[in-house]
Amino acid sequence: MSKLSRRKVITTGLVATAGASGLAAAAKLAQRYGLIPPDGGGLYGPGETLTYAAQRLLTRHSLAREFNPNQVSKPPFANGVAPLGEAFKRLQEGAFTDWRLTVDGMVARPASFSLGELQSFPGRSQITHLSCEEGWSYIAEWKGVPLSHILNLVGTLPQARFVVYRSIQPGWWDSIDMADALHPQTLVAHGMNGGGLPVAFGGPLRLRVPRQLGYKSVKYITRLTVSDSLKRFGKGLGSAPPEGGYAWYAGI
């Protein structure tokens, strides 16, 4: 017979009840303040939620480190991409003059911008790290339009919580929350290392999210959709990577 005192049983019961109700209250608060990622369910949900919530509470406004021109990796490493389709090749033959970025969803004035228009917008240039989840990285200078500038032009509605972005590559899409979408270093990039953005690095248009791993910086983007929820997109996990087993939030 184990030595179970009444006091121990009562204390354990009280601690367990307090713990369970504390967790329930924390989950409610987290839901309310948008601290639960779209892939926050399932086996690895608790870990992902802790990471995303901690990052949103601690690092919402932090700026990605910017480097000196002499730190730019020469040459940068272009990761392999899936074979580019017919639609891409047709646009490439026309030197991408017909490439367009459509912005729709919860915006006051849905719009579609040509590559030329985007290049004429006030730009920003920054030397940042691109880290791949595999472990390698390179530093490059990126030039582009801050995503916040485009979102201001189309006027996001107050209930907007996420920006979904799609590549011309079938099945490749992702999303970020408004903290990253409105972040000054999140760029719709069209230039790299002083020139245009090479196709191997996502040209003519790539989203650059420097506070997250490389796979969030989707190449060949053609459409942005502002939304209050990610449930209606794909399997409802927020982006294509979680459907293939990778985390939605890649700031780690």
176 binds another protein (CB under 8 A): no
Which stretch in 19-27, 109-117, 131-139, 166-174 sits in contact with another protein by CB under 8 A?
131-139
Count CA atoms closer than 13 A to 7's CA, side-chain side: 0
Taking the C-alpha atoms of residue 245 and residue 165, their distance in angstroms, rounded to an integer, is 19
75 binds another protein (CB under 8 A): yes
- Contact residue for another protein among 19, 46, 195, 198 (CB under 8 A): 46
| 208, 85 Cβ separation under 8 angstroms | no
38 binds another protein (CB under 8 A): no
Q: What are the tokens at 59?
A: 């690092």
Which stretch in 109-117, 132-140, 160-168, 200-208 sits in contact with another protein by CB under 8 A?
132-140
- Contact residue for another protein among 10, 14, 24, 50 (CB under 8 A): 50
Smallest separation, CB 212 to another protein (Å): 6
CA nearest to 225, candidates 170, 185, 166, 184: 166
- Contact residue for another protein among 65, 89, 90, 232 (CB under 8 A): 65
Smallest separation, CB 175 to another protein (Å): 16
- Contact residue for another protein among 36, 64, 103, 164 (CB under 8 A): 64
22 binds another protein (CB under 8 A): no
What binding mask, one character per residue, do residues 219-248 give for another protein by CB under 8 A, x or -?
----------------------x--xxxx-
136 binds another protein (CB under 8 A): yes
155 contact partners, CB below 8 Å, separation of at least 6? 107, 108, 109
Report phi then psi at 48, rounded to 5. -65, -40
Which single residue is written with the structure tokens 């011309």? 168
Q: Which of residues 191-210 bind another protein (CB under 8 A)?
A: 210
Q: Which residues bind another protein (CB under 8 A)?
A: 1-7, 43-44, 46-48, 50-51, 55, 58-59, 62-65, 67, 71, 73, 75-77, 79-80, 129, 131-139, 210-213, 241, 244-247, 250-252
